[in-house]
Chain A
Amino acid sequence: NAGVTQTPKFRILKIGQSMTLQCAQDMNHNYMYWYRQDPGMGLKLIYYSVGAGITDKGEVPNGYNVSRSTTEDFPLRLELAAPSQTSVYFCASSYSQLLNEQFFGPGTRLTVL
């Protein structure tokens, strides 16, 4: 099993550009999450999904969009990138809602200049 994979590992964007961060998991997990981690800070939940076709906003959803067309994939879309979106983005997945042990991807480091 590859676990949770994320692409790309690094990306530099110019202000106003758009991009999609890819996330995939091969563990047949229903729950998937996107977090951002600013330098020296904790994790903030951007969006989360309880299954294909179902997504919900987390703590900091503004400037982002997600879709969940399959159980495996959960891409995060940035429209009109801004410097405030410079961060490390982590995708995670879990099997159970109650015993919510999350498996994290390696992260995507995004810089917006």
Chain B
Amino acid sequence: GDSVTQMEGPVTLSEEAFLTINCTYTATGYPSLFWYVQYPGEGLQLLLKATKADDKGSNKGFEATYRKETTSFHLEKGSVQVSDSAVYFCAPGPASNDMRFGAGTRLTVKP
């Protein structure tokens, strides 16, 4: 099935630093790709998505570009805030019983 490999954490940054979290995918074809965020004590929520190759997803200052030549969907933010501290998950579509989320990357932003 489709799966992703995600950069391991934890990642600790100072406020206003640049963030990159790597994600590469293995799939037949070009599935939709997602980044989810999990704030402490909460469930996952969708952060951004890309439905096809060369799409760029963006939300709350985060961006990720679906690059088929490198099979990547890296998450970036130009200037992180303390409120961005969370765990970030990369995930592929489509739905199947062997669909696999990324392992998650814990980000801590210090003031």
Count of chain A residues near B, Cβ 8 A: 28
A58 at the interface (CB under 8 A from B): yes
Given A43-B89, A56-B97, A58-B97, are A99 and B103 neighbors across the interface (CB < 8 Å)?
Answer: no
Contacts of A97 in B (CB 8 A): 93-95
Task: Give per-residue flags for B87-105: 1 if the beta carbon is below 8 A from chain A beta carbons, else 0.
Answer: 0010101111111111110
Given A97-B94, A99-B32, A99-B93, are A45 and B99 neighbors across the interface (CB < 8 Å)?
Answer: yes
Nearest-Cβ distance from residue A49 to partner chain B, whole angstroms = 10
B79 at the interface (CB under 8 A from A): no
Contacts of A104 in B (CB 8 A): 36, 43-45
Contact, CB under 8 Å: A100 / B32: yes
Contact, CB under 8 Å: B43 / A94: no
B51 at the interface (CB under 8 A from A): yes
Nearest-Cβ distance from residue B102 to partner chain A, whole angstroms = 7
Chain A's closest residue to B34 (CB) is A101
Contacts of A35 in B (CB 8 A): 101
Contacts of B100 in A (CB 8 A): 45, 59
Bound: A48/B44 CA distance, A: 17
Q: Can you pick out 9 interface pairs between chain A and chain B where the beta carbons lie within 8 Å of each other?
A: A42-B89, A43-B101, A45-B99, A90-B43, A99-B94, A100-B99, A101-B32, A104-B45, A107-B42
A2 at the interface (CB under 8 A from B): no
B77 at the interface (CB under 8 A from A): no
Bound: A59/B98 CA distance, A: 7
Contacts of A56 in B (CB 8 A): 97
Nearest-Cβ distance from residue A94 to partner chain B, whole angstroms = 6
Nearest-Cβ distance from residue A5 to partner chain B, whole angstroms = 11
Bound: A58/B45 CA distance, A: 21
Bound: A57/B96 CA distance, A: 10
Q: A57-B97, A102-B36 are in contact. List 16 more A-B contacts (CB 8 A).
A: A42-B104, A43-B44, A45-B99, A58-B97, A90-B43, A97-B94, A98-B94, A99-B51, A99-B93, A99-B94, A100-B32, A101-B32, A101-B46, A102-B91, A104-B43, A106-B43
Chain A's closest residue to B106 (CB) is A40
